Amino acid sequence: QSVLTQPPSASGTPGQRVTISCSGGSSNIGINTVKWYQQLSGTAPKLLIHNTDQRPSGVPGRFSGSKSGTSASLAISGLQSEDEADYHCAAWDDSLNGWVFGGGTKVTVL
Amino acid sequence: QVQLQESGPGLVKPSQTLSLTCTVSGGSINSGAYYWSWIRQHPGKGLEWIGYIYYSGTTYYNPSLKSRLTISLDTSKNQFSLKLSSVTAADTAVYYCAQSNRGLRDAFDIWGQGTMVTVSS
């Protein structure tokens, strides 16, 4: 059971906007920044979003992150076939004194 | 370009100690800009933070693993290591080493390719 809660799956057709939620609590998302990682099949995760809404260089602008209260979201605008992957959210938890992750959301491009 | 590479046995017997090493190339492990991390992923599951170590030797461990866990640095070899004792089948997972970048609010910005460890007799 992951500390952060994500839906197990999401899907969309090419060009659509897909949003993935990540629900946490007052000791993690509520007071700390959120990170998002993309994991293509059979590969290591890759940093997609840091500091809740910041993209590292090289990450396409169609990926965006946001937060409200104890929940965060990742949006993919203009979904592309290469976006088919697992997406994981993460945040530091001040109560557990450690990093916590969501269970991951598998995005399928229909 | 910093790269990380995990190494170690792919099979460990129950009750024994799992030992993995991460070799850092293209950068120095003796830098205050990063934490050096271990993260694992059980088959078909999400990610689990194991712990990390700072260049000073200060360690931060997942409370659920702390009693069995040791993370250490070898600055002469530019490596850091993981030892997890008294393993069971529940420790079967892909183990990743990763760089946690303090400049990116400690985001894990560089990852090794991962190594599968199976606990079985």
- CB nearest to B62's CB, from A43, A51, A98: A98
* Beta-carbon separation of A50 and B61 below 8 A: no
Is residue A1 over pLDDT 90? Answer: no
Report the phi/psi class of residue B106: left, alpha or beta, with left for phi > 0 and alpha for psi in -120 to 50.
Answer: left
Contact in structure between B24 and B13 (CB atoms under 8 Å): no
Residue A95: predicted pLDDT? 96
Q: How are beta strands A9-12 and A105-109 bridged, if at all?
A: parallel
CA distance A55 to B9: 36
pLDDT digits (tens, 9 = 90+) for B68-101: 999 999 999 999 999 999 999 999 999 999 999 9
pLDDT band of A108, cuts 50, 70, 90: very high
Residues of A in contact with B47 (CB under 8 A): 37, 45, 88, 90, 101, 104
Q: How far is B49 from chain A (nearest CA, A)?
A: 6
Mapped onto helix, strand or coil, the DSSP state of residue B90 is helix
Residues of A in contact with B96 (CB under 8 A): 44-45
- CB nearest to B105's CB, from A33, A44, A45: A33
Q: Which of A20, A50, A55, A88 to mutate to test the interface with B (most CBs of B within 10 A)?
A: A50
CA distance A102 to A2: 6
Which regions in chain B score pLDDT beneath 70?
Answer: none
pLDDT digits (tens, 9 = 90+) for A86-97: 999 999 999 999
Which two structure tokens, joined as six digits, stand for A18? 């897909």
* Beta-carbon separation of B113 and A43 below 8 A: yes
- Enter the DSSP assignment of A36: E
Main-chain phi, psi angles of B89, to 5 degrees: -60, -25
Main-chain phi, psi angles of A107, to 5 degrees: -100, 125
pLDDT digits (tens, 9 = 90+) for A25-76: 999 999 999 999 999 999 999 999 999 999 999 999 999 999 999 999 999 9
Which residues are within 8 A (CB) of A57 and not within 5 positions of it... i.e. 6 or more apart? none
Residue type, B66: K
Residue B105: predicted pLDDT? 87
* Beta-carbon separation of B46 and A43 below 8 A: no
Residues of A in contact with B45 (CB under 8 A): 103-104
pLDDT digits (tens, 9 = 90+) for A74-84: 999 999 999 99
Residues of A in contact with B95 (CB under 8 A): none
Q: How far is B26 from chain A (nearest CA, A)?
A: 18
Residue type, A53: D
* Beta-carbon separation of B111 and A46 below 8 A: yes
Which strands form B18-25's sheet, in the order they lie side by side?
B3-7, B18-25, B79-84, B69-74
Residues of A in contact with B93 (CB under 8 A): none
Q: What are the residues facing B103 on neighbouring strands?
A: none
CA distance A90 to A105: 12
